[in-house]
Amino acid sequence: MIDMDLDTIAAFSTPPGESGLAVLRISGPLAASICDRLFVASSSRFKKPSAMEGYTLAHGYWGSIDEVVLACFRAPYSYTGEDVYEISCHGGQAIRQAVLDSVLAAGARAAGPGEFSRRAFFNGKMDLTAAEAVMDMIGAQAEKQAQVAYRQLTGGVSRVIHERTDHLYGALARLEMLLDWDEEEERPEDRELLVHELEHSEHELRLLADSFAGGRIIREGLAVVIAGSPNVGKSSILNALSGRDRAIVSNIPGTTRDTVEIDLTLNGYLVHLTDTAGLAIDSQDPIEREGIMRAENALRAADLVLWVLSPPLPPEDERLQEETRIERCLEEGKELLLILGKDDLRPTLPAEEDPAYYAAERFPDLPTLTWSDRSEDDLHRLKEILVRFIEGGILSFTEETLSVTSHEQVKSHGEGHSHGMLTHARHKVAVDRAVELVGRARADLQAGLSFDLVAISLKEALTELSTITGEDVSETLIEKIFSRFCIGK
């Protein structure tokens, strides 16, 4: 384990810029004496386990600086587990700087990124999943992101990991017992029972790993990319979904030359929406070609592609190139919804110009949605599809109605998910490895291999799981995690 830091650190927990108040946090053994020296209390009792003292004057950097509020959280009843003092001063730049300089001059050191949370972790105030959730809480833009972060902060992920771990420890204990027995004493039913237990563990862990598909999208936001030929109405869709005139719309093909990105929330879920330059065929214009390259990059990062086909359909050679692009997206495993745009023009179209007929013939298996920027209903349906896609995972459409079928394992990843939900790639990688190791242990048991070998795999699986909560984790990984934090957290 790593040595506890014994110095006293200080940093503002509020962002730079002008504000009514700013909060400077001091943590460590010198926190009390620094505050004693710097502040004259209106009453002098700020050494109670927890107290808020009003209107204390700072004698520091340039004499009296400000009237502040001092909150005291004595060890171990604080965020870091050390003595923590929080100074709420006025949030002007000069005042903030003077308060900080005074505290540093009095013996504190400027805290680095994530140092407060790192101390909280080492003092056993929170495990690694909770520390990661602190950052998610701060970064949450949408309600559902905040909800999953809060669940993780309050031990949601750790509890599930501990349950799985306890189960594996049970199997390991049984295995160790069998190891002590002579080979002649071994009964086939002992082996069978263990195989059964490991199968159960493997299954539960796999469900947990699969929950990451939905969990990642909730935590990071759903990346939706609108693509298609020039002038088909892509930017109009972005504007309709975002409810504002974000992208320029005109009847001149090639209006959008760069990607246009916007974040929106739908039913509390974060959606990153990207409009792209029309995918013109064989363009010689260098700016248009750069736009197309950016569109292709955006497509590669998409969770869901809205591919827009509108009348008039392009000539056959262009259509074939567009088909190739759509097929490439599908080969890359993208979920793709064909939007049959400018639906209001359809009644006037001959069948051979109608994108609906074309789509049904060329892409009969792809889900489609008719769309007109004049229809409130279409907008409502598109928003509903996006929400259901986030909640369900896969789009599937019957002839008349559109439905989203759920992955069994990610069904209702909102409230009360019985298998827990992973939202961090780091956790997913560890659970995947544990699934593999438990699977190997189970296969070795079935193949009649020695209990020693099986025990090794199980112990490795347990080690993998313990990296998630941070019970068994390298210093490098800890540094990596906390370095992503902001200063003051």
Ligand X SMILES: Nc1nc2c(ncn2[C@@H]2O[C@H](COP(=O)(O)OP(=O)(O)OP(=O)(O)O)[C@@H](O)[C@H]2O)c(=O)[nH]1
- Positions touching ligand X (CB under 6 A) are 230-236, 249-251, 253-256, 278, 341-342, 344-345, 372-373
Contact window for Mg ion (CB under 5 A) among 33-41, 233-241, 316-324, 366-374? 233-241
Residue with smaller CB distance to ligand X, 56 or 256 = 256
User: Which among ligand X, Mg ion, none contacts residue 81 (Cβ within 5 to 8 A by kind)?
Assistant: none
Residue with smaller CB distance to ligand X, 214 or 233 = 233
Least distance (Å) from ligand X to the CB of residue 272? Answer: 18
Q: Is the Cβ–Cβ distance between 433 and 208 less than 8 Å?
A: no
Least distance (Å) from ligand X to the CB of residue 284? Answer: 17
Least distance (Å) from ligand X to the CB of residue 260? Answer: 9
SS3 407: coil
The answer to whether residue 310 forms part of the interface with Mg ion (CB under 5 A) is no
Least distance (Å) from ligand X to the CB of residue 317? Answer: 18
User: Which among ligand X, Mg ion, none contacts residue 296 (Cβ within 5 to 8 A by kind)?
Assistant: none
End-to-end CA distance of the chain: 22
Q: And the tokens for 159?
A: 């509890």
Residue with smaller CB distance to ligand X, 91 or 230 = 230
Nearest alpha carbon to residue 26 among 37, 41, 17, 16: 37
SS3 479: helix
Nearest alpha carbon to residue 225 among 253, 256, 180: 256
DSSP 334-364: -EEEEEE--GGGGGGS-GGG-HHHHHHHH-T
Residue with smaller CB distance to ligand X, 295 or 435 = 295
- Contacts of residue 305, defined as CB under 8 A and 6 or more positions apart, other chains included, come to 224, 225, 227, 299, 329, 334, 335, 336, 337
Residue with smaller CB distance to ligand X, 38 or 226 = 226
Least distance (Å) from ligand X to the CB of residue 342? Answer: 4
User: Which among Mg ion, ligand X, none contacts residue 284 (Cβ within 5 to 8 A by kind)?
Assistant: none
Contact window for Mg ion (CB under 5 A) among 119-127, 139-147, 253-261, 308-316? 253-261
Least distance (Å) from Mg ion to the CB of residue 237? Answer: 9
Q: Is the Cβ–Cβ distance between 425 and 415 less than 8 Å?
A: no
User: Element (H or E) spanning 304, and its range?
Assistant: strand 304-309
Burial 266-292 (b: 16+ CB within 10 A, else e): beebbbbbbbbbbbbbebeeeebeebb
Nearest alpha carbon to residue 326 among 342, 340, 341, 308: 308
Least distance (Å) from ligand X to the CB of residue 371? Answer: 6
Least distance (Å) from Mg ion to the CB of residue 234? Answer: 5
Least distance (Å) from ligand X to the CB of residue 252? Answer: 7
Residue with smaller CB distance to ligand X, 246 or 411 = 246
SS3 44: coil
Which residue of the chain is nearest ligand X when measured via CB?
278
User: Which among ligand X, Mg ion, none contacts residue 201 (Cβ within 5 to 8 A by kind)?
Assistant: none
Beta strands in 28-83 (DSSP E): 39-40, 50-60, 63-73
Residue with smaller CB distance to ligand X, 107 or 314 = 314
In the numeric block, the tokens 């896969």 are attached to 394
Indicate the burial class of 78 (C-beta count within 10 angstroms; 0-12, 13-18, 19 or more). Answer: buried
User: Element (H or E) spanning 27, and its range?
Assistant: strand 19-27
Residue with smaller CB distance to ligand X, 190 or 288 = 288
Nearest alpha carbon to residue 83 among 12, 13, 5, 8: 8
In the numeric block, the tokens 């005109």 are attached to 250
Residue with smaller CB distance to ligand X, 30 or 336 = 336
Least distance (Å) from Mg ion to the CB of residue 269? Answer: 25
User: Which among Mg ion, ligand X, none contacts residue 344 (Cβ within 5 to 8 A by kind)?
Assistant: ligand X
Say how many residues touch Mg ion, by CB under 5 A.
4
Residue with smaller CB distance to ligand X, 102 or 236 = 236
Q: Which of 102, 256, 274, 457 binds Mg ion (CB under 5 A)?
A: 256
The answer to whether residue 235 forms part of the interface with Mg ion (CB under 5 A) is yes
User: Which among ligand X, Mg ion, none contacts residue 158 (Cβ within 5 to 8 A by kind)?
Assistant: none
Distance, in Å, from the CA atom of 172 to the CA atom of 455, rounded to the nearest integer, reads 6
Least distance (Å) from ligand X to the CB of residue 363? Answer: 19
Q: And the tokens for 327?
A: 């097929």
User: Which among ligand X, Mg ion, none contacts residue 372 (Cβ within 5 to 8 A by kind)?
Assistant: ligand X
DSSP-H helix ranges across 221-271: 234-242
Residue with smaller CB distance to ligand X, 158 or 372 = 372
Least distance (Å) from Mg ion to the CB of residue 247? Answer: 6
Residue with smaller CB distance to Mg ion, 233 or 488 = 233
User: Which among Mg ion, ligand X, none contacts residue 233 (Cβ within 5 to 8 A by kind)?
Assistant: ligand X
Q: Is the Cβ–Cβ distance between 138 and 489 less than 8 Å?
A: yes
User: Which among ligand X, Mg ion, none contacts residue 221 (Cβ within 5 to 8 A by kind)?
Assistant: none
| Interface positions with Mg ion (CB under 5 A) | 234-235, 255-256
